[in-house]
Structure 1
Amino acid sequence: MEFIQSAELPPPAGHYSQAVAAGGLVFLSGILPARDTVAQDAFFEVQCDSVFAQCEQVLRAAGCGFNDVVQCTAYLAGVDHWPAFNNIYARVFGEHKPARAVVPVPGLHYGYLVEIQLVAQRP
C-alpha cells in the first residue's frame, strides 16, 4: 500500500489518508469542501467546485486525473441538489462516465451539502 498526500492540501485532521494506492487502483477518502475557504452556508455549486478541485489535487498527487476515475460515490445532503450535482458532474467528467452512486443523506459533517469519494486506476 502507498499512502497519497497532496502537497497542495493540508493533511487530514483525522486518522485517515487522503488516498491509498493498492493493486493499481487509487482510493480517495471522502472529501468535503475546504473548510478554510468555503463556508458551510456557501451555495451548493461552490461547495461542489471546492470538492472536485481537491479531488483533482489528490488524483494528481497519485499520478492520475479525472479520466482515470472508475467509480464515484457522492453523498448529498438531501435530494434537492441532485439536478445541480448532475450538471456539475457532467462538466467535470465530460464524456468520461465512471460508475457512480449518489447517496442522499440527512446531513454531512460540519453542515456541508456534498462529499465525494473516488476510485481511480493508475495509468
Structure 2
Amino acid sequence: MEVRVANVRKEFERFPALHDVSLDIKSGELIALLGPSGSGKTTLLRLIAGLERPTRGKIFFGDEDASQKSIQERNVGFVFQHYALFRHMTVADNIGFGLKVRHGSSRPPAGEIRRRA
C-alpha cells in the first residue's frame, strides 16, 4: 500500500510540531525517519496511524484520503523506538498482539497470526 503525506502540519497549543511535511512511501518501500529528539518523527508516525489528527494537510493510503479515518479503519501499526513490550510475552506474542486483539472477522486465524509474527 502506498502512503502519501501531503502538506501536513501538526500544532500542539500553537506550537508547530510538524510544519508542512510531505512524504511519499511506495508500496513495499522501506524507509527510516531520522532526526534529533523533538524533531517530529513520532508525531508523524502517530498521524499516519491515526493516533493524532493533523492540524492541516492530508494523509492518503493509496488514492484514499485517510485523514479522518479512525485508528481501526486505517489498519496501521508501528514499533516504538524504546521498549514498549509486554515482558511476560515472547517476541512473537508481542508482534502478534495487535492481530490477536482485533474483533470478529477482522481477526486472522491463529495460524495466520503465527505466520506473520
TM-score higher than 0.5: no
Which structure is higher in RCO with an 8 Å CA cutoff and minimum separation 6?
Answer: 1
- TM-score after normalising by structure 2: 0.30
